[in-house]
Structure 1
């Protein structure tokens, strides 16, 4: 899943669309969409869009630092996601994939 505005909001125009138009709720919507397509939460992981390739000009307005990612966990819990599913989205799915795929 992504945190980059152009992946979260249809019609996003880099340098023109305001980050105020998206929030962590948009990332939760993105998670919901992926889960619906894939059938469950086992195929969702946090993407690397927060690796410093861009600043907050393209991130949800309420995501000011990496510490704010915890807002996504709270939002997902409020939407009924189980604790183990949230842990998998945050790290478990990548760990499972790496452990089963890498030598």
Structure 2
């Protein structure tokens, strides 16, 4: 596998980093966490786009605190963000591919 982007969703910031096969971080981009669900999706997509500029990205992984249904890739509950049954994978995938 080539380059991937890892995204960490926190209560105050969203961080995205381009990582190679050896685990080296090649680029990063951080944005503040917006107060709304849609704003957070927008911020995730923006962070992925900015971090990935100039790189051929093969996959994006997202880490979010809370309960996640891995079969549906849905955040069922997040303690630090107002997410309840949020179809995060589908929303991000539609926007970043």
Report TM bin, short chain: 0.3 to 0.5
Which structure is larger by alpha-carbon Rg, 1 or 2? 1
TM-score, length of structure 1 as denominator length: 0.43
TM-score, length of structure 2 as denominator length: 0.45
If each structure's strand is expressed as a fraction of its own residues, which one has the higher value? 2
